[in-house]
A and B are shown apart, each in its own frame.
Chain A
Amino acid sequence: MLKFLLQGLTRPPLTEAPPSPEDAELTALAARLQTAARRRLGRSLSIRAVDAGSCNACELEIHALNNAYYDIERFGLRFVASPRHADVLLVTGPVTNNMRQALERTYNAMPNPKWVVAVGDCALDGGCFAGSAAVAGGVAKAVPVDLSIPGCPPPPLEILKGLLTLLEQM
């Protein structure tokens, strides 16, 4: 274990690894995010994620935001466990009938001001589940949406860009 810790100290972090085109984009994003987040929210934005019927792929990509490549916390963006601590509700999935109430209650449990971001095509308009009697067909059918990030699933960088756009609009 010591070896790993030592490497962690001596090796350059992955997040600043030699810039491939994509990583360069990430670095630029980081700078924009930092200023925006600091100006509007005093350095931090707390996000509560709710799966309202996703296939789980959107969650996987949201998860990836936490890995060493994207390391979303360095921007002051962090995922919180309780809606009471959240500024942003990140919702995935077409909103199934069985999740609708839980989603609404999570939204209602959040303090104001609050924002809702719909992640993925499903969350936008039901995606390929649109028309099913078991789903509402998009997050906006249940709670007011401030921003949608399309994709199936949107890759981590797109989700990050979306959050930045939201910050700039705030």
Chain B
Amino acid sequence: MPTLHDILREGRMVANHRPWPRAMVNARTWQMAAATAADGRLTLLGLWGDADVVHMALLDDQAGSAAVLSLECPDKRFPSVGRLHPPAIRLERALRDMHGLEPVDCPDPRPWIDHSGGAPYPFLSAEGDSLHQIAVGPVHAGIIEPGHFRFTVNGETVVRVEERLGYVHRGIEKLMRGAMLEQGAKLAERVSGDSTVAYALAFARAVEAALELEPPPRALYIRGLMAELERLANHLGDIGAICNDASFAMMHAHCGILRERVLRAAHGCFGHRLMRDCLRPGGVARDIDAAGLALLDALVTDIRRHFPALVKLYDNTASLQDRTVTSGILKPALARQFGAGGYVGRASGRAFDVRRSIAYPPYDELEFDVPSLTEGDVNARVWIRIREVEQSLSLIEQMMARLPAGPVMTAVTSRPGESVSMVEGFRGDVLVWLRLDDDGRIVRCHLRDPSWFQWPLLEAAIEGNIVADFPLCNKSFNCSYAGHDL
């Protein structure tokens, strides 16, 4: 089987694409790459369209390298990757809806993001005696994002659940076309609200790679602080929310307090609770002052004081453990096949974290663990997040101790270029692909949320569980609807 390097050699290298190489390939090489991914030797990182071109990003885990392959499809057709490698199927369906490019022989002919068809959506069937269906959503009982779940159940046991997404499709990638960088950054931050910093960072890093800019060291550290605060807030909130879905409201209340304190500290440091409009291409829009650092210091001390007791409470409450242990098991083989990122992957043996595997500053100078487990159940996903809270606290301390002095912004020039960037959000790896024209306008910006490779796995993890455990399993994945639907 060819390596990524071999595949790239078959193609024609494209100049001015950074930092990973990009090659124009023919249909044969395209299919060879798909087969290599299907074989488990490459991980599919993304698949997106452009005007009459399809692109595919691939990761060679072993070599720690990644690349983009592009295939021209002047007749608006390309050989399906999903035919060989199922993780690509939804991406191809979206591509067909958005760009009118046809993945030839894609196993699933149904639309995905485009709901305008009029005819009822044909859900996959499940047949057998005494099965019935439950339709849930898009408007859910709680205050959550919209999506539809179609359950087929036998008594209480889920036989199949099928997701229907696309309800929050806002057309972000179209709005990106022709946008100036400032507008692009605003849009990127609003792809998925809980990952504001992650998207701002991924976008900024893509711009900087395309323009070959280096933000000042202080800005890199402040970005790191922002990213870890975002991770902390989400992990703390979600650990509580998962327990709440197992009807253990006390954890929810206490974790909610800690989350609120993180958001207040973020507001105190950067002027916005979710750190909107704080991180910009070229650096950061807000420096942190001594008062801000004192706030962070107090925050870390506070969480260190209160969090361990909550962890103990989680661990020692038998009725809660009864719900989380062995529920919603995601098998390691599936996590690997789909390249599942974040705690979903790491709880199922895929110890991938962009901060470590394709390290970017400031993480290349910091010490931290990437916790991983193999059980793959709700409990394992909770534990990964508990461990990551601890790691984030330590990272914040390290960054504060080493915070370089100096400016926090470099001037952003304009010139044409192409780039790709990947950063680790709280949910997993966010990928951005960018093409800029000579006046610094965005020609094409593709944003790939980690949820693309996690949503399908939720369908697999829920099989055989009881319907009442679905909210619990769903929350333990906490995939993004907005990030997926764009």
A residues adjacent to B (C-beta < 8 A): 1, 3-5, 14, 49-64, 66-69, 79, 81-83, 93-94, 96-99, 102, 106, 127-129, 131-135, 152-153, 155
B77 in the interface (beta carbon within 8 A): no
Are A129 and B171 in touch, CB under 8 angstroms? Answer: yes
Instruction: Tell me whether B170 and A132 are in contact (CB under 8 A).
Output: yes
Instruction: Known A-B contacts: A57-B193, A63-B237, A98-B169. Give 11 more (CB < 8 A).
Output: A50-B139, A54-B168, A56-B193, A56-B481, A60-B274, A67-B257, A69-B260, A79-B143, A93-B170, A135-B170, A152-B190
Contact A97 B116 (CB under 8 A): yes
Knowing A4-B254, A60-B274 touch, does A134 contact B171 (C-beta < 8 A)?
yes
Pairwise interchain contact B168-A129, C-beta atoms closer than 8 A: no
Contact with A along B48-76 (1 / 0, CB 8 A): 00000000000000000000000000000
Q: Specify which chain B residues have a CB less than 8 angstroms from the CB of A155 in the assembled complex.
A: 267, 273
CA distance A104 to B270 in the complex (A): 38
Q: Which residues of B contact A49 (CB under 8 A)?
A: 143
Are A68 and B316 neighbours in the complex by a CB distance under 8 Å?
Answer: no
B121-162 CB mask vs A (1 if < 8 Å, else 0) is 000000000000000001101111110000000000000000
Cα A5 to Cα B317 in complex, Å, equals 13
Interface of chain B residues 168 through 193 with chain A (CB within 8 A): 168-172, 174-175, 183, 186-187, 190-193
**Which residues from chain B contact A96 at a C-beta distance below 8 Å?**
167-170
Is A62's CB under 8 angstroms from B143's CB? yes
Most buried by A among B143, B146, B172, B257: B143
In the complex, the answer to whether B171 meets A99 with C-beta atoms within 8 Å is no
Question: Quick one: which of A53, A133, A135, A153 has the most chain B CB within 10 A?
Answer: A53
Q: Tell me the count of chain B residues lying within 8 A, CB to CB, of chain A.
A: 49
Q: B115, B116, B171, B186: which contacts A135 (Cβ < 8 A)? A: B171
> In the docked arrangement, what's the CA distance between A131 and B171, Å?
10
- CB pair B166–A98 under 8 Å, yes or no, is yes
Kindly identify which residue among B115, B145, B175, B186 contacts A132, using a CB–CB cutoff of 8 Å: B175
Of A55, A67, A129, the residue contacting B193 (CB under 8 A) is A55
Asked if B27 is an interface residue, CB under 8 A from chain A, the answer is no
B193, A60: Cβ atoms closer than 8 Å: yes
In the complex, 22 of the A-B residue pairs with CB atoms within 8 angstroms, ordered by the A residue number, are A3-B309, A4-B250, A4-B313, A5-B250, A50-B139, A51-B145, A53-B168, A55-B482, A56-B192, A56-B481, A60-B193, A60-B237, A64-B260, A67-B260, A68-B253, A93-B170, A97-B116, A97-B169, A106-B139, A127-B190, A128-B175, A129-B170
- Smallest CB gap from B234: residue in A: A60
- Say yes or no: B143 contacts A64, CB within 8 Å: no
Complex: A133 Cα to B170 Cα, angstroms = 8
Complex partner residue of B482 from A5, A14, A56, A98, CB under 8 angstroms: A56
Q: Chain A nearest CB: distance from B121 CB in Å? A: 11
B274: A residues at CB distance < 8 A? 57, 60, 153
Check B116–A64 contact: CB distance below 8 A: no
- Residue with the greatest number of chain B CB neighbours at <10 A, chosen from A66, A68, A99, A135: A99
Contact with A along B89-125 (1 / 0, CB 8 A): 0000000000000000000000000011000000000
User: CB distance A54 to B166 under 8 Å?
Assistant: no
A54 to B282, CA, bound (A): 28
Residue of A nearest to B174 (CB): A132
Cβ–Cβ < 8 Å partners of A129 in chain B: 170-172, 175, 190
| Nearest 10 Cβ contacts at the A-B interface | A57-B193, A134-B171, A81-B141, A67-B256, A132-B171, A56-B193, A55-B193, A98-B115, A49-B143, A55-B190
Q: Is A102 in contact with B174, judged by CB distance below 8 angstroms? A: no
Query: In the complex, how many angstroms separate the beta carbon of A105 from the nearest chain B beta carbon?
Result: 8
Cβ-based interface call for B196 (8 A): yes
Residues of A with C-beta under 8 A to B115? 97-98
Say which residue of A68, A134, A152 sits within 8 Å of B256 (CB atoms).
Answer: A68
With A94-B170, A129-B171, A135-B171 given, is the CB distance from A58 to B193 under 8 Å? yes
Cα-based distance from A152 to B186 in the complex (angstroms):
11
- The chain A residue with its CB closest to the CB of B486 is A134
Task: Type the 1/0 row for B237-266, where 1 means its CB is closer than 8 Å to any CB of A.
Answer: 100000000000010011011011001000
In the bound complex, what is the Cα–Cα distance between A94 and B167 (angstroms)?
A: 12
